[in-house]
């Protein structure tokens, strides 16, 4: 049955070359933990991607209950965590995943750095990777405000004051991010929501696609 569906699609779109290229590419011995246990360091990138997938999915599901409004944001988070079945787990996945993705990405970055795997011809992929790192940090920063609890509000005030202290463009940048020159309130929350849920993920998808395409094209760096 599945073969028939595959054949039906393949006849029309000729997907076999693409699929066989992905499935049959050789994975070298030195990244395989079955041959060298120390090769577990090569898992960090994959785990980062795995948590990212969890973050995207859990985030999508969280917006089924969450409202980015200062009167209801906290109430909705409280409700989805305490009243909705499995709410604690879904929010927990998103909350702890945010920390774990930073940890895994950090370890992945260190692996690539200490192995010198960013050297020619892989400079561009390293730059894209560091940009992904920045996007992740920005996602953490904007996501921190969304539950609209005490630590969210006051930590964001600190962040905005730091932005404000940038010479020349600081105050304008702060207003642009916060939505108001002095108040951290309704407009800040909606802005952070838009940035966290649409703008940053869009950038993240583009960078991830570039990251993976480059890995497929160049292959993994050789053993030391």
Partner 1 sequence: MHRGKGMKFVGDSRIPATGRKPNIPKDYSEYPGKTEAFWPNFLLKEWMVGAVFLVGYLCLTVAHPSPLERIADPTDTAYIPLPDWYFLFLYQLLKYTYASGPYNIIGALVIPGLAFGALLLAPFIDRGPERRPAKRPFAVGFMLLALSGIVYLTWQSAAHHDWEASKKQGAIIEGAEFDKESEGYQLLDANGCISCHGAELTGGAAAPSLVDTGLTPEEIANIAVKGRGGMPAGMFKGSDEELEKLAEFVSSLTAK
Partner 2 sequence: MSKRNVSRRQFLNYTLTGVGGFMAAGMLMPMVRFAVDPVLAGGSESDFVATKQKIKDLSTEPTRVDFSFTQVDGWYESEVTNTAWVYKTKDGKIVALSPICKHLGCTVDWGGDKEHPEQFFCPCHYGRYTKDGMNVKGTPPISPLDVFTTKEKDGILYLGQRKPHGEA
Look-up of token digits 């590419």: 25
d(CA 72, CA 68): 7
By CB under 8 A, residue 150 contacts partner 1? yes
DSSP 117: T
* Residue 178 interacts with which of partner 1, partner 2, none, CB < 5 to 8 Å by class: partner 2
Taking the least distance from each CB to partner 2, the nearer of 113 and 154 is 154
Q: Of the candidates 90, 81, 78, which has an alpha carbon nearest to the alpha carbon of residue 54?
A: 90
d(CA 116, CA 136): 23
By CB under 8 A, residue 52 contacts partner 1? no
User: Residues interacting with partner 2, by CB under 8 A?
Assistant: 70-71, 154, 157-158, 160-162, 165, 172, 175-176, 178-183, 185-187
Q: Of the candidates 132, 124, 112, which has an alpha carbon nearest to the alpha carbon of residue 221?
A: 112
Taking the least distance from each CB to partner 2, the nearer of 155 and 213 is 155
Applying the rule CB under 8 A, the residues between 6 and 45 that interact with partner 1 are 6, 10-14, 16-17, 19-20, 22-29, 32-35, 40, 43
Piece in contact with partner 1 (CB under 8 A), picked from 160-168, 172-180, 196-204, 206-214: 160-168
Is 224 exposed, middle or buried (CB count within 10 Å of its CB: 0-12, 13-18, 19+)?
Answer: exposed
**Can you read off the two tokens belonging to residue 36?**
């060298």
* Residue 215 interacts with which of partner 2, partner 1, none, CB < 5 to 8 Å by class: none
Among 97, 135, 193, 195, binds partner 1 (CB under 8 A): 97
CB of 45: closest distance to partner 1 in angstroms? Answer: 10
d(CA 196, CA 116): 32
């Amino acid at each position: 049955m599945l073969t028939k569906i595959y054949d039906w699609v393949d006849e029309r779109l000729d997907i076999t070359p693409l699929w066989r290229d992905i499935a049959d590419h050789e994975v070298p011995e030195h990244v395989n933990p079955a041959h060298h246990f120390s090769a577990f360091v090569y898992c960090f990138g994959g785990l980062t991607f795995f948590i990212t997938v969890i973050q995207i999915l859990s985030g999508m599901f969280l917006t089924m209950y969450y409202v980015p409004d200062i009167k209801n944001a906290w109430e909705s988070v409280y409700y989805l965590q305490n009243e909705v079945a499995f709410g604690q787990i879904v929010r927990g996945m998103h909350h702890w995943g945010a920390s774990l993705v930073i940890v895994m990405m950090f370890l992945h970055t260190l692996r690539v750095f200490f192995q010198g795997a960013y050297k020619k011809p892989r400079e561009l992929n390293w730059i894209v990777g560091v940009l992904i790192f920045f996007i992740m940090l920005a996602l953490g920063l904007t996501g921190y405000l969304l539950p609209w609890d005490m630590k969210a509000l006051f930590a964001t005030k600190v962040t905005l004051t730091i932005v404000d202290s940038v010479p020349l463009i600081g105050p304008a940048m702060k207003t642009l991010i916060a939505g108001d020159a002095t108040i951290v309130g309704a407009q800040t929350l909606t802005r952070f929501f838009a940035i966290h849920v649409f703008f940053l993920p869009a950038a993240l998808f583009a960078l991830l696609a570039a990251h993976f395409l480059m890995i497929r094209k160049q292959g993994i760096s050789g053993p030391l």
